[in-house]
Amino acid sequence: SQTIHQWPATLVQPVGSPLSLECTVEGTSNPNLYWYRQAAGRGLQLLFYSVGIGQISSEVPQNLSASRPQDRQFILSSKKLLLSDSGFYLCAWSRTGSEQYFGPGTRLTVT
Amino acid sequence: KNEVEQSPQNLTAQEGEFITINCSYSVGISALHWLQQHPGGGIVSLFMLSSGKKKHGRLIATINIQEKHSSLHITASHPRDSAVYICAVPSGGGADGLTFGKGTHLIIQP
């Protein structure tokens, strides 16, 4: 069966520090991968998606970037965090045209 | 870009009541998702449907493609159904990235 992992589960970082969140998927190959963010009091928002290694599409301009160095690994990064980057970050995978499966999420607090 | 509206935003009901949550969207879609988010934040996919009706246990989801409207029903509601229910549709931007409603915060009191 397929499993999706995210780490860390929680993170507290100062403004201006770098960020790296990791997501890995097991039990499937060539999945579509997604990064979503849920800011406090707001709905989920699509940040990035990837249909293959090295292929990244951004949905919104922001302080964040994403990379897919391996088929089942998706990384969300920032060089310098802003207060507004605080939120709950969710990774998800899917097969084209099918349901999406979400990871457990990372709760990021920027102080 | 698709816009998704959910109602109600908050719903408190007594155990056993029949629950209905509504979702409307602005642009025609291939499929609609209903998701459940628990207090810890974890999200579970409940349904993905493109037409008609689907049922899993006490949960029923319906969609009317012509009217761009979907409903999620819970029969014989139970306190463990308390969660945020989120409607989502393809964002239209590529792959199957989703645009989400703001969610319905459901509390079922014993």
Between A108 and B42, residue with greater pLDDT = A108
Flag residues of chain A having pLDDT under 70.
none
pLDDT at B69: 96
- Tell me which residue of A2, A56, A47 sits closest to A25, measured CA to CA: A2
- Dihedral sign (CA A3, B99, A61, A87): negative
Is the CB of B42 less than 8 angstroms away from the CB of A98? Answer: no
pLDDT at B105: 97
pLDDT at A59: 83
A23-35 pLDDT, tens digit each: 999 999 999 999 9
Mutate to test the interface with B, among A3, A11, A23, A44 (most CBs of B within 10 A): A44
pLDDT at B84: 97
- Across the interface, which of A34, A43, A99 has its CB nearest the CB of B102? A43
B56-100 pLDDT, tens digit each: 999 999 999 999 999 999 999 999 999 999 999 988 776 788 999
d(CA A79, CA A64): 8
Do residues A87 and A39 make contact, with C-beta atoms less than 8 angstroms apart?
yes
- Across the interface, which of A32, A45, A102 has its CB nearest the CB of B95? A32
